[in-house]
Structure 1
Amino acid sequence: MVLLTASRLAGALLSLVLLCSCKEPIDDVITKPPTPPVTAAPANWAARADSAQNALRQGFFTAGQYYAKNNAGDAGFNYWWQAHGLDVLMDGYKRTSSSDYLTQAQQLQVGAKAKNGNTYLNEFYDDMEWQALACLRAFQLTGDPTYKATAKLLWEDIKTGWNEQQGGGIAWKKTQRDYKNTPANAPAAILAARLYLLDKNPDDLAWAEKIYQWQKAKLVDPATGLVWDGINRTGDGQIDKNWRFTYCQGVYIGAGHALYQATKKPEYLADATRTASFVLGDADMAPGGILKNENAGDGGLFKGILVRYLALLATEPDVAAGTRTNYINFLKFNGESAWKRGARRPPGLFNTNWTSQPQGAVESSTQMSGVMLLEVLADLQARKLL
């Protein structure tokens, strides 16, 4: 028999306890909390819009108080680009309430009128329509009656473009009255509908519906909602079905939406959403989900025009929630690409292709489209829709 001293007995008992305890699950080990995943801060679209607006002002606005053709010394003047220049100034003013935008807008109206022969009237009906639309919006945002007077002056002249060649429609220009196209008709329908919403003059609504019905019957593919460009451009009565521009889709979406707001007739909203859905799903219009490159010159403005009217449709309360989400996601996807891959920063200059940076001179038309894109995203973010 082995006799254990008290100390040996205590040691044996301690060993037994330790041996047993090592077989129990360990539930009291102190561990470091898991590191939370890193999440990127949400994009500040208002700050991005500020950068793009500043680049437009500093690089393109001339001492003559109009937007020059490019930021590399070409001071060429294009009347309808100035109208979109006024519209993006109104975007900035609406977002910030800064009087700087109002001052520049007033300067632009003086400079554009002077460069256009000291008149707002023009050879091209579509150019006048853009000026009228921008002025009407400026009136609604500022209350300045001179803007409304200019819009009304232009509207009276625009209506003289209607004739029965090609079954109706407003001519593209005053010296080619037998050529009718989407750029001269869909914006006119938007203008007439907005004038009706403002003044409730039934004649304006009648004009809006007459122009729209001609547009839909002649220049919209009934199978898809694709909007064609024009008819009888070369005098052969043919439709330019191969001219597939984002511009044409945008203004038709805008016309349908404006007439829906004026009448609440569901067919107008259905037309607008159908064409919008076509754009989102068409590999030519939006390859890889990014609106296509339509080059510089007038084409530089085309995507911005579509973006403006698609965004308005996205904020229409009667658009289905899922459809609205699709539009907003599409706009955001384009905005992220344009800002991260298609812009040179600083100072926030855009390329005609929203998937690559500009390498040389940038034209003001192209820059305006980029500004429009960022401004609509800033507006959607302010509405808490992003």
Structure 2
Amino acid sequence: MKKKYLFLIMLIIPLWWSCGKEDIPANGEDEEEETIDWNVAANASSMALINQFWNSGGNYFNTDNSGNTTFQYWPNAHALDVLIDAYERTSNTEYSTYFDQWFQGVKVQNGNTWNNDFYDDMEWNALALLRAYKATSDAKYKDAALELWGYIKEGWNDNAGGGITWKKGMEYSKNACSNGPAAILAARLYQEFGNEEDREWAIRIYGWLKSTLVNTNTGAVWDNINSNTGEINKEWVFTYNQGTYIGAAVELHKIFNEKSYLNDAVKAADYTIGSLVENSVLKSEGTGDGGLFKGIFIRYFTDLIQQERLDAPIQRRYLQFMKLNAETLWEQGTTQPAVLFGPNWRQKPGTSTGLTEQLSGCMLIEAAALLEKEELFN
């Protein structure tokens, strides 16, 4: 009788342990020192994006996973970015097979054109399309990106000393969100195709952004300036504006190899991870548009981390921040087994969430997998 009782206990204990761990991909032999396998986690999160948000009838990503089929132009650009992240990491055509479908569906949903009233929205799509071209060498993505770049340059005017306006018909509103991504795009186009005009555009846009909307003492990126009044909105400091300023600085550093650009990026990154956080985890910036902000910061922060000239102590500090945020999201803020993310990376969203919040989570997990693959995580 005692032997039978002991046998049952021995059988139940490992089953209980495995149930407690089943939603956290891990590796390693010592169970007490198990670490998350970020490649497995990234596969799970990026496939969840497809399985729960992809609209197979319209060939775009839905606004949420609960049946809302509303089309939103700019989040779909970031959804393509995540698919490209996953494809570049794995070379799995299960991700790339959606590229062409996305290309067709998004253009149709946008009125059968890439043109849009919001310059930042066009910039996000141009950046994603340029990445799709680099990943596939398919000229249609290049052509669409260059078409968008032509529209985007029309948004520059001399109000407030320069800069690309936020929206057509609102020439007085100059925003960080319409200039940071434009500088990244111009710099990447130059690096890809060698057009000197694109390099000059990158320098011009970045210079205006830094001199007008950046507190160079703290690294804070202010949201916008109203050229009618000269008033700068210094109350709105968002992670995505921090991220694109960082991204622009990194791209210019790649072109010129000048440490000053890297220093600009570090200043903005330090402000972000010191001021836009709650207990060292990026804070919630809400749902809707705000749900995407953290993910955009993570994308360009990850680019900064990978720069060879970044000082080693700074890189270590940034990697610790990334690891803490990724582990917190995966262990505390992910609804399993559906793999859903919400705006608060310390809190599970339940059975439904929005596309923007899901994308930010996917970007963080994909970034962790990339850093693991490059052996920067330890």
If the length of structure 1 is used for normalisation, what is the TM-score? 0.88
The equivalent residue for 1:25 is none
In structure 1, the residue corresponding to 2:166 is in which secondary structure? strand
1:38 CA drift (Å): 5.6
1:295 CA drift (Å): 0.8
User: What are the equivalent positions in structure 2 for 1:146-161 lying under 5 Å apart?
Assistant: 146-161=140-155
One-letter identity of the residue aligned with 2:49: L
2:229 to 236, 241, 247: 236
The equivalent residue for 1:275 is 268
One-letter identity of the residue aligned with 2:364: L
1:222 CA drift (Å): 2.2
1:237 CA drift (Å): 2.6
Q: Which runs of 5+ in 1 are unaligned?
A: 1-35
- Deviating beyond 3 angstroms after TM superposition, the runs of 4 or more aligned structure 1 residues are 36-39
Q: Which has the larger radius of gyration?
A: 1
User: What are the equivalent positions in structure 2 for 1:33-52 lying under 5 Å apart?
Assistant: 39-52=32-45
In structure 2, the residue corresponding to 1:64 is in which secondary structure? coil
The equivalent residue for 1:245 is 238
**Alignment deviations for residues 191-237 of structure 1 (CA, whole Å, 9 cap, x no partner):** 0001111112111110000000000011001220100111118x533
User: What are the equivalent positions in structure 2 for 1:67-106 lying under 5 Å apart?
Assistant: 67-106=61-100
1:39 CA drift (Å): 3.7
The equivalent residue for 2:48 is 55
Q: Matched residues in 2 for 1:345 and 1:272: separation?
A: 35
1:215 to 209, 214, 225: 209
1:316 to 303, 307, 329: 307
Q: Matched residues in 2 for 1:236 and 1:336: separation?
A: 45
One-letter identity of the residue aligned with 1:378: A
1:314 CA drift (Å): 0.3
Q: Percent identity?
A: 44
Alignment pair present for 1:330 and 2:324? no
Q: Matched residues in 2 for 1:292 and 1:41: separation?
A: 27
Alignment pair present for 1:192 and 2:204? no
The equivalent residue for 2:126 is 132
1:101 CA drift (Å): 1.3
**Alignment deviations for residues 24-52 of structure 1 (CA, whole Å, 9 cap, x no partner):** xxxxxxxxxxxx98642221001111111
Once structures 1 and 2 are overlaid, which stretch shifts more, 98-107 or 162-171? 98-107
**Alignment deviations for residues 99-152 of structure 1 (CA, whole Å, 9 cap, x no partner):** 121111111111100000001111111000010100111111111111111111
Q: Matched residues in 1 for 2:164 and 2:180: separation?
A: 10
One-letter identity of the residue aligned with 1:169: G
Alignment pair present for 1:368 and 2:359? yes
Q: CA RMSD in A?
A: 1.3
Q: Matched residues in 2 for 1:162 and 1:154: separation?
A: 14
1:95 CA drift (Å): 0.8
In structure 1, the residue corresponding to 2:69 is in which secondary structure? coil
Alignment pair present for 1:358 and 2:349? yes
Q: Matched residues in 1 for 2:112 and 2:97: separation?
A: 20
User: What are the equivalent positions in structure 2 for 1:7-18 lying under 5 Å apart?
Assistant: none
2:287 to 276, 287, 296: 296
Q: Matched residues in 2 for 1:125 and 1:155: separation?
A: 10
Q: Matched residues in 2 for 1:99 and 1:51: separation?
A: 15
One-letter identity of the residue aligned with 2:309: D
1:286 to 266, 277, 283: 277
1:266 CA drift (Å): 1.8
Q: Which runs of 5+ in 2 are unaligned?
A: 1-28
In structure 2, the residue corresponding to 1:171 is in which secondary structure? coil
In structure 2, the residue corresponding to 1:301 is in which secondary structure? helix
Alignment pair present for 1:144 and 2:128? no
Q: Matched residues in 2 for 1:131 and 1:274: separation?
A: 27
Q: Matched residues in 2 for 1:82 and 1:228: separation?
A: 25
Q: Matched residues in 1 for 2:221 and 2:155: separation?
A: 21
One-letter identity of the residue aligned with 2:348: Q
**Alignment deviations for residues 278-312 of structure 1 (CA, whole Å, 9 cap, x no partner):** 11222xx0111000101111111100000000011
One-letter identity of the residue aligned with 2:373: A
Q: Matched residues in 2 for 1:360 and 1:94: separation?
A: 29
In structure 2, the residue corresponding to 1:180 is in which secondary structure? strand
User: What are the equivalent positions in structure 2 for 1:168-183 lying under 5 Å apart?
Assistant: 168-183=162-177
**Alignment deviations for residues 308-345 of structure 1 (CA, whole Å, 9 cap, x no partner):** 00011001111011111111111110001111111100
Q: Residues 37, 51 of structure 1: CA spacing in aligned structure 2 closer, same or farther, 3 A cutoff? A: closer
Q: Matched residues in 1 for 2:154 and 2:31: separation?
A: 61
**Alignment deviations for residues 46-95 of structure 1 (CA, whole Å, 9 cap, x no partner):** 11111111211111111211111111111111100111011001001001
One-letter identity of the residue aligned with 1:352: P
